[in-house]
Amino acid sequence: MKSKKNFNSSKNSSQSYLLKNCLVIDNVKNRILKNDIFIKDKIIEDIDKNLTNKIDPKTIVIECEGLYVAAGLVDMRVNITEPGLEHKETIESASKAAASGGITSIICMPNTLPPIDQPAIIHSIQRRAREVALSKIFCTGCITRNFEGKEICELRLMKDSGAVGFTDGYKTISNTRVMRRALNYAKSFDGLIIQHAEDPYLKGNGVANEGEISTRMGLLGIPSYAEAMIVQRDLWMVKETNCRYHVSHISTKETVEIIRKAKKNGLPVTCDTAPPYFILNELSLENYRTFSKLSPPLRNEEDRESIVEGICDGTIDAISSDHTPQDQDAKRLPFNQAEFGGIGLETLLPLTLSLVNNKKIDLIKAMNLITINPAKILKLDVGKIEKKKEADLCIFSTSKPWKVNPEKFHGKSKNSPFDGMLVEGKNLMTFVRGRLVYEL
């Protein structure tokens, strides 16, 4: 699988492909079968054994013996920063990073300049995504104007323009009355409210998880219950309004327990986490490593183990990359001054597969966490592999070893908390709408 050109942004979708001898991860029926996949006119024309008789001389045949083919990944939390902060990331650079990582659907956070708080900005981003033509980009809209937490945006208008959910990004809706109003409004049209749960008053100027490590390093701490308190507060209003409610990048034992209980009580609540919170802990901050300065902060080992347990028992519905690009000037500063966030598009697949390699979950469940599950939460018709659906696919090896080296990544920013880590599992090819957009 070698190519002189890694990316193909040509919009010509007339090319047909036959993927031979694939290990197909059928995430609709939760099974893995060895089959061929025939792609024609953007869609998966057929999935079956020995489809060679269906092809014509112009069909490109790709041998996939020993490789897995799954639905393209759906990443439900990505900060693209275009428009306004193109020095950190652009739609084109994010799309290239996503395609190389097997991600075919990106959910863009509204943290742009200006923020996504009106339909015109959604249309602009979608138009640019069609021009780049390397991935599907869906937008979330702000809950409040300019992230100020005071005045609710026209959520319904943004929903009609394509917004798949509403969030204030890395700002928590701390005003309870505003949050209640947003939940009531979103419920009227079956909207999804997405919360970054962190009490801003408890957080203050904190930069790390409050505990022994932060004290020893002389860093101002953020108590872990700052997350759980917001979730617990919001659930009172979710119970009243019955609005769909999603908590992003959960990181603590208490939050897992609260959401587990809420689900047992039948509340319409879902949540996701990100690889740093089930792989790393606060020890990664040693030597004041700013690439590990994240929001929410890396927690202690007990919290990390609880996140893994929440993934295993189904309390946690999805895994997102939480891709937050920062340029070198924003990260190469004293720890207290450095910006929060880490990139993650190109490591989402192998880091999720680490749960399989460590025998925590099976491969089907791991792939569901980054394909069909986030698609269901967002009510998007993506993330599935079945006949007559658009051919959004990734072809990958579960065992190919490699070393995380952000300098070789395709995004503009290089701030990975996993820099230097040895991982297993690599995306080799990506199809979007039946086009081969990436080949290793």
Terminal C-alpha separation, the chain: 7
Residue with tokens 């809209």: 141
Phi, psi of 253, rounded to the nearest 5 degrees: -60, -45
- Per the CB < 8 A criterion, the answer to whether 24 and 37 are in contact is yes
191 vs 189: CA distance, rounded Å: 6
> What would the two tokens of residue 186 be?
């979103």
Phi, psi of 137 (to 5 degrees): -120, 125
Tokens of 165: 């959910």
Q: Classify the phi-psi angles of 287: left when phi > 0, otherwise alpha if psi is within -120 to 50, otherwise beta.
A: left
Positive or negative: CA dihedral 201, 150, 85, 412: positive
Using alpha carbons, select from 388, 405, 308 the residue that is nearest to residue 347.
405
Are the CB atoms for 7 and 429 separated by under 8 Å? no
Determine the Cα–Cα distance for residues 36 and 386; give it in Å rounded to an integer: 12
Q: Assess contact for 263 and 273: CB atoms under 8 A.
A: no
Q: Which of 104, 86, 87 is nearest to 95 (CA)?
A: 104
Question: How distant is the alpha carbon of residue 217 from its chain centre?
Answer: 31
Q: What region does 193 belong to: left with phi over 0, alpha with psi -120 to 50, or beta?
A: beta
Find where tokens 């924003």 sit. Answer: 330
Check whether the bond before 296 is cis (ω within 30° of 0). yes
- Give the span between the Cα atoms of 387 and 384, in whole angstroms: 10
| Residues that are catalytic | 322
Beta bridge partners of 166: 141, 193
